[in-house]
Chains A and B, each alone.
Chain A
Amino acid sequence: MADVMTRPEHVATEKRRVPRSTHARIWSKWDKLIVVLMITIPTVIVVALVWFPAVSTVILSFTDWNGIGNIGDMNFVGGQNYVDVTTNYPPFGPAMQHNLIWLVVFFFGPTLLGIFLAALLDRELRGGRIYQSIFFLPVVLSLALVGFIWELIYSRDQGLLNNLFHANVDWFGDPNINLWAVLVASGWRQTGYIMLLYLAGLKSVDPALREAAAVDGAGEVRTFLQVIWPVMRPVNIVILVITVIESLRAFDIVWVINKGRNGLELISTLVTQNVIGEASRVGFGSALATIMIAISTVFITIYLIQVMREQK
């Protein structure tokens, strides 16, 4: 009886719903205008101030524009800037090498340590929240500030390290070691970030998986490596991409120490020096920036594929 009563109504609502999905009839002209503006304005801003400059950088890298004259005065010089960068610019080799070292150290240092800490803290543990907070704390400090804070430890005359070991090492100044000193400082900040991301991933792992592994008699280490790690694949990819991009973007800490000279050359600092320095070499700086764009594009694509797969 109740079934018979409700049925027609149900059909009726179904019918009413059909035109609702075709927006044309429900949204007024005013609504449509609003919706178009709501998406267009942000899109225009992002395209104009992010994508247009990025594409322009790539184009400028093939020109000899010096940034002073009229844009019409520039000539296309093909790959000349790239030839100059690779063969006739001494800091380029070291900078590439430093960025690569940065990546390798970030991967084997903060990234793996962050994952390890997340695995340790993802369980009932006395003071677990406090440990998480402590490791997360440096993440809220800017990398520039991290540079200043560590200067108090590294300084040659008054730093803690030299005081403690009665040494006379210029940790941030000696080109043989300053990169490593900087990596310790920025790794200190990065570890908490990775730990946080990984913890969030671990929280979403189905507890039944763990229980099943425990029933099968797997120890904690084996459970993590053979059961948890494989299902964490999406998070692993995100973390890999973040590690690469952060290594490539490293800038602030090095800039506040010595503007990226004397052992601390990075691609990012070379671009900045060439563009906002006294001698602005636009085409040349753009070629350096384009190398950064090329590398990051690969990893942004990986990230997007991963993220868009989750969208479906």
Chain B
Amino acid sequence: MTAAVVGRRRRTRPARVVLQVFLIVMAIGWLFPIAWAVYNSLRDYDFTSAHGYFSFGGFTLKNYVNAWAEGDFGRTFYNSAVITVPSVVLTLLLSASAAYVLARFSFKFNLTLLGLFTAANLLPQQALLVPLFRLFVNIEVPYSISDSGTLYDTYYAVIAVNVAFQTGFCTFVLSNYMKTIPKELTEAALVDGAGAFRQFWQVVLPLCRPALAALATLEITWVYNDFFWAVAFMRTGSKFPVTSSLQNLKGQFFTDYNLLSAGSVIVAIPTLVIFLLLQRHLRAGLTLGATKG
């Protein structure tokens, strides 16, 4: 018995070394594209054009200063925030209340509704493009709200679609989560005379804090990263989110890849910060949605 165990351990040791080497090589390869962007963002354009990119030296922070100014990042970050913050807050509010009803009350269309929410997030975005585009162009609003006089080319349109598209996914995750909360807790609140809304707001929601944190982190990254809805429903260049800054850098300075690297790093920084600080929540959000457990 002991001989067999020892024998197995001895046999697996070279396998472990191979495994570690394989993983180290893969990990370096995986980090490389990001590292390459960071490395070249820190180098002077004149230096790299003289010595080629496969060289060492010419370090500077100038690219960041220039990229920030030329990409108009101050404005585009603001635009991204204007889209992301209300979208995420509304998504979580709406999905939490829908999830509460779906998880706590049993009625005829319970499962059908859950399916309706769950499937909404899986449709291809292009499938919604034509009617939504026409809808926003045709809904007239006062000029004080929109320069175009319609919902097209406004943040309202982009936020509304983001909310609708993400609510389904969040409802699914949250309703699964709420089902794990013991019924006794809300029953106790009920005995104390708490109505449906107070049970939701004061008992269920606080208990959902881990799931809400996970979803908030995930949704902030998703909405921040979204590019399609902004392209589809907005026209005015000065309203676009951060990704468009990169396109500006590429358009105007076709060959300056150091500048583009710096721009890419700037765009990545918010999500990288989230990744470093809140990775636990990101992972939880993604896995809660796809699998139960």
Contact = CB atoms under 8 A, between A and B. Distances in A.
A41 B113 CA distance: 13
Interface in A225-272: 234-235, 238-239, 241-242, 245, 248-249, 251-252, 255-256, 267-268, 271-272
Interface stretch (A4-12, A25-33, A85-93, A101-109): A25-33
Interface string A48-74: 111111101100100000010000000
Given A145-B243, A164-B54, A311-B111, A45 B163 contact: yes
Given A145-B243, A252-B227, A308-B111, A300 B131 contact: no
Given A53-B128, A238-B290, A275-B129, A137 B123 contact: no
Interface string A137-157: 111111111001111110101
Contacts of B60: none
Interface residues of B, number: 96
B292 interface: yes
Interface stretch (B81-89, B140-148, B208-216, B266-274): B266-274
Given A157-B255, A296-B124, A131 B27 contact: yes
A180 interface: no
A38 B101 contact: yes
Interface in B1-39: 19-20, 22-23, 26-27, 30-31, 33-34, 36-37
Contact of A153 (B36, B190, B283): B36
In this complex, the member of B33, B226, B257 whose beta carbon has the largest number of chain A beta carbons within 10 angstroms is B33
B190 A163 contact: no
Given A43-B98, A148-B260, A271 B131 contact: no
Contact of A131 (B23, B97, B119): B23
A222 to B, nearest CB: 14
Contact of B100 (A38, A242, A288): A38
A238 B128 contact: no
A282 interface: yes
Interface in B252-288: 255, 257, 260-261, 263-264, 267-268, 271-272, 274-275, 279, 282-283, 286-287
Given A200-B293, A276-B133, A136 B283 contact: yes
A141 B164 contact: no
A134 interface: yes
B115 A304 contact: yes
Contact of A46 (B120, B127, B246): B120
A142 B243 contact: yes
A22 to B, nearest CB: 12
B247 A256 contact: yes
A32 B126 CA distance: 38
A151 B34 contact: no
A51 B120 contact: yes
A137 B127 contact: no
A192 B20 CA distance: 18
A21 to B, nearest CB: 9
Contact of B232 (A120, A188, A272, A289): A272
A53 B135 contact: yes
A23 B105 contact: yes
Interface of A: 20, 23, 26-28, 30-32, 34-35, 38-39, 41-43, 45-54, 56-57, 60, 67, 117, 120-121, 125-127, 130-131, 133-145, 148-153, 155, 157-160, 163-164, 188, 192-193, 196-197, 200-201, 203-204, 234-235, 238-239, 241-242, 245, 248-249, 251-252, 255-256, 267-268, 271-272, 275-276, 282, 285-286, 288-290, 292-293, 296, 299-300, 303-304, 307-308, 310-311
